[in-house]
Amino acid sequence: MGYGFQAVVTVIVALATLEATTLLQYFSSRKAMREEATRRAEDQLEATNLLICDVLDQVETAVHNNVWPVRKTLSTPDSLWSLTRRIVECNPSVSGSAIALVENYYPKKGRLFSPYAFRDGDRIDTLDLGRESYGYTGKEWFVKPVETGGGYWSEPYYDTGGGEMLMTTYSVPVTDAKGRVAAVLTADVSLDWFTDLVGNIDVYPEAFSALVSRTGKLMVCPAPALVMKKTVQEVAADLADSTAVRDIGLAMLAGEQGSRQVLYNGEKEYVFYAPIDRANWSMAIVIPQKEIYGDIQRVGLLVILLQVLGLLVMSVILYTSVKNQLQFREVAEKKSRIDSELRIAQDIQMSMIPKALQADTDEVDIDMSGIVVPAKEVGGDLYDYFVRDGYLFFCIGDVSGKGVPAALVMSVTRSLFRSVSAHEKSPRKIVSTMNESLADMNENDMFVTFFLGVLDLSDGHLRYCNAGHNAPVRLAARGCGFLEVVPNLPLGVVSGLPYEEQETTFSCGEGLFLYTDGLTEAEDVRHLLFGAERMQEAVRAACGLPAGKLVEAMREAVNAHIKGCEPSDDLTMLAIRYMNPSLSDAWERRVTLREVSEIPRLQRFMQTVSEHAELDHALSLNLNLALEEAVSNVLLYAYPEEADKEVDIKAMVREDRIDFTVSDSGVPFDPTAIPDPDLSADLKDRPVGGLGIYLVKRIMDEVSYCRRGGKNILSMTKKRSYGSTHH
Amino acid sequence: MTARLVGRLDTPAAAEVTQEIQPLLDHAGSTIVLDCSEMSYISSSGLRIFLTIRKAASAAGGHVVIQGLSNEIRQVFMMTGFLQLFEIK
């Protein structure tokens, strides 16, 4: 479960990271948007400030430029009219201009005199503001400049009796030649113009702007009813939560710049404010929070909610699927463990098959090739071979059953073959010993059909023992046929069973094709067996091929028969070909004798040799005599009385000679060392023994003895003289 | 007295024959004729029987005659110097 837990944790961490990223993005977007709003508001505030200041500048400049002309014109009061008219004419920003003279400046004109020019649509009208009812000397725009002696922007006011509109006035005192204040020169600016300018600010569709005078009066705001009627403080007082608005009001009146969040009519709004320096006014832009954040404010939380929900659903799905997968995985792991163990077992089993032949002599070439095709991962078929002391030991076997149990018995059988053959050369004894071991331990009624061969590499003589196995096919130049085998019982059936041994001799190029019943019993779709007939035919067709090619051809033949059907049994093939160049021109026969009474078999043996060598009767008889003398010598004297005796006789017919070998494992004895009998001795001194060996020497052309590998080996050669075969 | 030897006088046969030559040895003082016309083969064991009979005859003052030797067997006799020991007909 560790894996599943880990996977779930991994995915949850990944999803949480995703969620956190979304949140971070959400908040950073909000921040960016707020910054964007701030930037836009501040830009707008600054632009508006510049525009207003520009207008105020123009007005101030116009006023200041006319101070001197006014002073010049003081001497001719009526010319002041045209002056005011020209100021209005020349300055589009100026809506009206007055030159208000101090009391009783022109006695002829009365106490108050103030020429005033103002726009009335496209026209410019003039008017004397010196009516007592208007009483300009009490107006702020007149009093302040006189008091301060400098330019002054008045508080916005609705001018009744003058401009008849909402305006603000810039005024400067004008002094006469004596340096006394003679008049106040003014220029009016209509607040309609600011209302248009400020009111048209559209940072955001729902945003609005306000302009506040130095006393807090609302000069421009979206509610016309409040304009010039109320101050910021009064508006704040009307609100439920007035603190924030009042704070903003104070800050604005103090000429500060900044921004603040307020709750206004239940909605969050951002207020950005900045002073209009020139007039000591302050301007504010109010943007509802929802405008700033737009959709993300509205959708953002929903998105997060949906994501959390999705995450939960995903976790549940993931947990379920991981759990299922884990169960599947457990089963798969178990299966793969068995698979891998079987694969290892297969490797071990395949490694038991010998790789290449290690012959201990270069002169002898054994052409061998084998193949095991298990029906399952491991099988009960085996073949093996090795070379010891100039002998090739080989075997093929088929354990009853298939799969792992058969494979185990196969391993045991192979080990037995190796261990018993390590110190025994007689196939009969090897097979008997193996049978004892297998029968002893056989509690599962498994048995092994087995064929064992021991090939003398020096001359091609094969001794073999068949334990219930299929008869191998003999590979011979003159034709391939089944090797003659005695049907002994398979190994492991009954202990104490006698096994019979057989022998034959291979000429150069001859050999055996061994196989298991997986070959003959290979079935096609219709359950038709490959069979002995077809097999023999295939072997005949491939008989001339080297061992490797032959096995390959046989495999192709059986595959062609089964046509892709799944093999039901293990299939093993082994081809052995004896290649002895030194024997290539030799024909040879062997015979083994164990008792004196078997000596007459030599006659048949010699008959065969003579027929092959086309020897005449006399020579054949002589050679028979020589062999008999050599053999009887061994059987009578080489072994202790009660011992198992054995003497091997071999004849090799060559073009120019016939070689005979008589070998035995008896006590070391060199017959050639016996002195020749005295043939000229008197009858009574004539020896009874010694004649035999003497005859051998007389009959054969060469006689030599050697002791080799625990054996007495007597080699004899008879030269063949064509034309005169008589001695 | 005449003895007829038939077939192959090889080692095992010679062992059997040795058991049966007592009647011949009993007549060692007279003439013993060994008829070999139907003997096809002889080994040194067989030759030994001939020698045994020959020695017994010699000791008893008798006489051994061999007749009907084939060329092949004569050759064996020759090789072993037996031709000089027997009267061959």
- Whether A692 sits inside 8 A of B44 (CB atoms) is yes
Average pLDDT over residues A691-720: 88
Q: Pick the range with the lowest mean pLDDT from A70-74, A440-444, A650-654.
A: A440-444
pLDDT digits (tens, 9 = 90+) for A76-112: 888 899 999 999 998 888 889 999 999 888 888 888 8
Residue A297's pLDDT band (cuts 50, 70, 90):
low
Residues 6+ apart with CB under 8 A from A61: none
Q: Specify the DSSP element, H or E, that contains A369.
A: strand A365-373
Determine the pLDDT at residue A526.
86
Judge whether residue A708 has pLDDT over 80: no
Tokens of A360: 């201990």
Closest listed residue to residue A697, CA positions, set A667, A721, A675: A675
Confidence of residue A490 (pLDDT cuts 50, 70, 90): very high
Are A683 and B79 an interchain contact pair (Cβ–Cβ within 8 Å)?
Answer: no
Predicted structure pTM score: 0.40
Closest residue, chain B, to A676 (C-alpha): B80
Q: How confident is the model at residue A455 (pLDDT cuts 50, 70, 90)?
A: very high
Tell me, yes or no, if A124 comes closer than 8 A to chain B by beta carbon.
no
A678 vs chain B: nearest CA distance in angstroms? 9
From A561, A506, A492, select the one nearest A532 (Cα to Cα).
Answer: A561
pLDDT at A655 over 50: yes
Contact B28, B62 (CB under 8 A): yes
B44 vs A600, A629, A684: nearest CB:
A629
**Is some CB atom of chain A closer than 8 A to the CB atom of B67?**
no
**Average pLDDT of span A526-543:** 88
CATH code that applies to domain A358-583: 3.60.40.10
CA distance A374 to chain B (A): 55
ipTM of the complex: 0.93
Tokens at A715, concatenated: 């080699």
Both tokens assigned to B28: 């060692």
For A321-376, how does the pLDDT look when each residue is reduced to its tens digit (9 = 90+)?
Answer: 888 888 888 888 888 888 888 888 888 777 777 776 654 444 457 888 888 888 87
> Does A298 contact B at CB distance below 8 Å?
no
Q: Give the bridge partners for A274, in sequence order.
A: A283
Cα gap A588→A577, rounded to integer Å: 16
**Separation between Cα atoms, residue A218 and residue A398, nearest integer Å:** 115
Q: Report the residue of chain B nearest A627, measured CA to CA.
A: B43
Of A74-78, A598-602, A697-701, least confident by mean pLDDT is A74-78
Q: How many other CB atoms are found less than 10 A from the CB of residue A548? A: 14
- The reply to whether residue A691 touches residue B80, judged by beta carbons under 8 angstroms, is yes
Write out chain B residues lying below 8 Å of A602, CB-based: 10
Q: Answer whether B12 touches A (CB < 8 Å).
A: yes
A 508-547 residues with CB < 8 A to B: none
Note which residues in 690-719 of chain A have CB less than 8 A from chain B. Answer: 691-692, 694-695, 698-699
For CA atoms B53, B54, B55, B59, the dihedral sign is: positive
Instruction: Give the pLDDT band of residue A480 (cuts 50, 70, 90).
Output: confident
**What is residue A464's predicted lDDT score, i.e. its pLDDT?**
95
| Helix (H) or strand (E) run with residue A551 in it | helix A547-562
Tokens in use for A53?
């200041």
pLDDT of residue A726: 43
Q: What is the pLDDT along chain B (89 residues), one digit of tens a residue?
A: 888 999 999 999 998 998 988 888 888 889 999 999 999 999 999 998 999 899 899 889 888 999 999 998 999 998 888 888 888 88
- CB contact (8 A) between residue B55 and residue A628: no
Scanning every residue of chain A, which has its alpha carbon at the shortest distance from the alpha carbon of B70? A618
pLDDT in tens, A118-129: 988 888 888 888
- How confident is residue A583, by pLDDT bands cut at 50, 70 and 90? low
* A463 close to A503: Cβ distance less than 8 angstroms: yes
**Residue A221 pLDDT more than 60?**
yes
What is the structure's pLDDT at A648?
Answer: 93
Q: What is the largest CA-CA distance in chain A?
A: 213
pLDDT of residue A191: 81
Q: What confidence score (pLDDT) does residue A575 get?
A: 93
Confidence band (pLDDT; 50, 70, 90) for A664?
very high
Answer yes or no: are the C-beta atoms of A534 and A561 closer than 8 Å: yes
Smallest CA–CA separation between A660 and chain B, in Å? 18
**Record: fold of A66-193:** Beta-Lactamase (3.30.450)
To test the contact with chain A by mutation, choose from B58, B79, B83, B84 the residue with the greatest count of A C-beta atoms within 10 A, namely B79
Percent of chain A with pLDDT over 70: 94
- List pLDDT tens digits, range A130-159: 888 888 888 889 999 999 888 888 888 887
Given pLDDT bands bounded at 50, 70 and 90, which one contains residue A647? Answer: very high
A632 contact residues in B (CB cutoff 8 A): 11, 43, 45
> Which residues of chain A lie closer than 8 angstroms to B58, CB-CB?
683-684
Each as own residue / partner, the long-range contacts of residues A401-405 (CB below 8 Å, 24 or more positions apart, any chain) are: A401/A446, A402/A375, A402/A376, A402/A569, A402/A570, A403/A376, A403/A377, A403/A378, A403/A379, A404/A342, A404/A345, A404/A378, A405/A380, A405/A444, A405/A446
B52 contacts on A by Cβ (under 8 Å): 688
**pLDDT at residue A566 greater than cutoff 60:** yes
Residue A151: count of CB within 10 angstroms of its CB: 17
- Contact (CB, 8 A) for A663 and A633: no
Is some CB atom of chain A closer than 8 A to the CB atom of B38? no
Q: Is the pLDDT of residue A513 over 90?
A: yes
What is the Cα–Cα distance from A137 to A147, expressed in whole angstroms? 12
Closest residue by Cα to residue B55 from A526, A539, A681, A665: A681
Closest chain B C-alpha to A412 CA, distance in angstroms:
46
pLDDT given at position A242: 67
Question: Minimal Cα–Cα distance from B44 to chain A, Å?
Answer: 5
- Note the pLDDT of residue A584: 57
Min mean pLDDT across A276-280, A405-409, A455-459, A694-698 is at A276-280
A699 contact residues in B (CB cutoff 8 A) = 79
In angstroms, the CA A245 to CA A235 distance is 8
* C-beta separation of A572 from A381 below 8 A: yes
pLDDT of residue A184: 93
Residue to test with chain A: of B17, B42, B44, most A Cβ within 10 A: B44
Q: Are A368 and A575 in contact (CB under 8 A)?
A: yes
User: Alpha-carbon dihedral of residues A435, A437, A439, A442, nearest 10 degrees?
Assistant: -140
Strand partners, A650: A590, A661
Question: Interhelix angle for A289-352 vs A403-421, to 10°?
Answer: 40
pLDDT at residue A607, rounded to an integer: 92
Sign of the alpha-carbon dihedral angle for A579, A582, A587, A589: negative
Chain CA centroid to CA A612, Å? 73
Tell whether B6 is within 8 A of chain A (Cβ): no
- Domain topology for A587-719: Heat Shock Protein 90 (3.30.565)
Structure tokens, A446: 């498994």
Task: Measure CB to CB from residue B12 to each of A596, A625, A727 and give the nearest one.
Answer: A596
Helix H, strand E, coil C: the string for A711-724 is EEEEEEEEECCCCC
**Cβ-based neighbours of A505, under 8 Å, separated by 6 or more:** A459, A460, A461, A462, A588, A589, A590
Sequence spans of domains, chain A: 66-193, 358-583, 587-719
Pairing of strands B2-9, B31-42: parallel
Q: Pick A679's closest partner by Cβ from B12, B52, B81.
A: B81
Would you say residue A724 has pLDDT above 60?
no
Categorize the per-residue pLDDT at A3 as very low, low, confident or very high, splitting at 50, 70 and 90.
low
Beta strands per DSSP E along A140-214: 152-153, 157-158, 166-175, 181-190, 208-212
- Within 8 A of B46 by CB-CB distance, chain A residues are none
> What residues does A367 pair with on adjacent strands?
A577
Tokens representing B4 are 């007829």
* DSSP letter string, A659-705: EEEEEE-SS---GGGSPPP-TTS-GGG--SSSHHHHHHHHH-SEEEE
Q: Going by CATH, does the domain composed of B2-88 fall within 3.30.750.24?
A: yes
- The residue written with tokens 């196989």 in the block is A515
Taking CB atoms and an 8 Å cutoff, what residues of chain A touch B79?
695, 698-699
Tens of pLDDT, residues A383-394: 999 888 888 999
CA A468 to CA A431: how far, in whole Å? 11
Please report the DSSP string for A378-420 in residue order. S-SEEEEEEEETTEEEEEEEEESS-HHHHHHHHHHHHHHHHHH
Work out the angle at residue A266's Cα, subtended by the Cα atoms of residues A260 and A271, and round it to the nearest 5 degrees: 20
* pLDDT for position A2: 57
Quote the CA–CA distance of A369 and A576 in Å, as a whole number.
Answer: 7
Res A668 pLDDT > 80: yes
